[in-house]
Amino acid sequence: MVQINENYLKLPGSYLFSEIARRVAAYSEANPQAKLIKLGIGDVTRPLCPAVIEAMHAAVDEMGVQETFRGYGPEQGYDFLRDAIAKHDYAARGVQMAADEIFVSDGAKSDCGNIGDIFGTDNVVAVCDPVYPVYVDTNAMAGRAGEYDEKTGKWSRLHYMPCTAENGFSPVVPEGKQVDLIYLCFPNNPTGATANKAQLQAWVDYANTVGAVILFDGAYEAFITEPDVPHSIFEIPGARTCAIEFRSFSKTAGFTGNRCAYTVVPHELERGGASLNRLWNRRQTTKFNGVPYVVQRGAAAIYTDAGKKQVQETISYYQKNAAVIREGLQTAGLTVYGGVNAPYIWLKTPDGCPSWDFFDRLLQEANVVTTPGAGFGPSGEGYIRLTAFGGAAATAEAVERVKAIL
Ligand code: MLT
């Protein structure tokens, strides 16, 4: 009889955002009159900008004409997009990146999970706590996480790095301990915290010393407002020999429904005598057939003058929402973090209320959907996360509703 991957049986019942969707659907069904405001999953709400729409329309037209029709594209992405990324996301910030170090894909979520294919199952994986659950669940699926303990909410083989208010939500480099794969996400999901150059340098130095690899998720890079915050791990000397970076058009340009992202694997990055760029290329060419041409044309349009300006307008719109949430809740006497360089606001629940209880209270009494901090890991207990990706009016109303029930 066929054997299943038993690691799946060890996973908690459902993925965090599916569980939230389930609870929200159940509440809506029982209370059809409730006008919910959703500040839970970080999904964008503003339409694609005109430059992207124009480029996608033109690409659709090309696909309908014999001379310009395209079948399979390069698995790694079209040169026009890889070149634009290298120029605008890296060279413009003083970072040299070759186009063939950039792999265009259908999402940072998929890449953060799929990257595990090129690493052995015995590696010790370090994750922040709280953490974007994809890093944890995909390592559990691959058999790298050990056993799940429901009481502690932890996996036996993962190395958890508590990120708390006391340490500024910044993970501490393990001293005297070998970890092999290190997931870092800055600006951080869920806390909205950032890492400065010195903090990232400490990670790069550690990884180069012990032969670890940093998996750096920069999906929220576009939301950085403060000048000294690094936008890429590759701004840090030494990162090319120890880091892989994930970036996405999802939050930057409203592509959550369009699916386009990219992963950067430098040529200098080698482990066990093998080039990780070659391994990732081998993985992608075997298991992935590239992002649709029309979508890649849309993505490339954000690097035109008009596209840059329009995308920035949308990001500013969300940044204003973040300020409305942060300042509104602070005025109400609540303790909030994040929301300055990130679209997430990390709110300490009042009177130490457990995350899921506060989530339920906000859902039922204020009809506002949030994400319970405990869903991101044990150190997220006592917090909830709000996103700035809603509509401006709905966001302002959500803040008033929350204030009114407290
Ligand atoms: C989130 O809410 O954390 C994100 O939207 C999830 C994702 O990007 O997959």
**For 79, which DSSP code?**
H
**Nearest-CA residue for atom 6 of ligand 1:** 42
Residue 12 has pLDDT above 90, yes or no: no
To the nearest 10°, the Cα dihedral for 246, 115, 139, 43?
A: 40
% of the chain exceeding 90 in pLDDT: 97
- Give me ligand 1 centre to Cα 43, in Å: 7
Best substitution site from 43, 110, 185 to test ligand 1's pocket, by max atoms within 8 Å of Cβ? 43
pLDDT at 316: 98
Residue 145 has pLDDT above 90, yes or no: yes
Task: For the chain, give the mean pLDDT.
Answer: 97
Q: What is the pTM of this model?
A: 0.97
CA 228-163-346 angle, to 5 degrees, is 75
Judge if the beta carbon of residue 192 lies within 6 A of ligand 1: no
pLDDT at 15: 84
To the nearest 10°, the Cα dihedral for 121, 126, 128, 134?
A: -10
CB 255 within 8 A of CB 299: yes
Structure confidence by residue, pLDDT tens digits, 342-356:
999 999 999 999 999
Structure tokens at 322: 């973040």
Rounded to a whole number, what is the distance in angstroms from the first to the last CA of the chain? 56
**For 118, which DSSP code?**
G
Judge if the beta carbon of residue 21 lies within 6 A of ligand 1: no
- Give me ligand 1 centre to Cα 221, in Å: 14
Structure confidence by residue, pLDDT tens digits, 161-192:
999 999 999 999 998 899 999 999 999 999 99
SS3 320: helix
Best substitution site from 15, 17, 20, 112 to test ligand 1's pocket, by max atoms within 8 Å of Cβ? 17
**Nearest-CA residue for atom 5 of ligand 1:** 42
Q: Is 225 exposed, middle or buried (0-12, 13-18, 19+ CB in 10 A)?
A: middle
Structure tokens at 341: 């360089």
**Nearest-CA residue for atom 1 of ligand 1:** 42
Alpha-carbon distances of 98 from 79, 90, 101, 157, 268, rounded to whole Å? 11, 10, 5, 36, 12
- Alpha-carbon span 195 to 185, nearest angstrom: 9
- Give me ligand 1 centre to Cα 102, in Å: 22
pLDDT at 13: 79
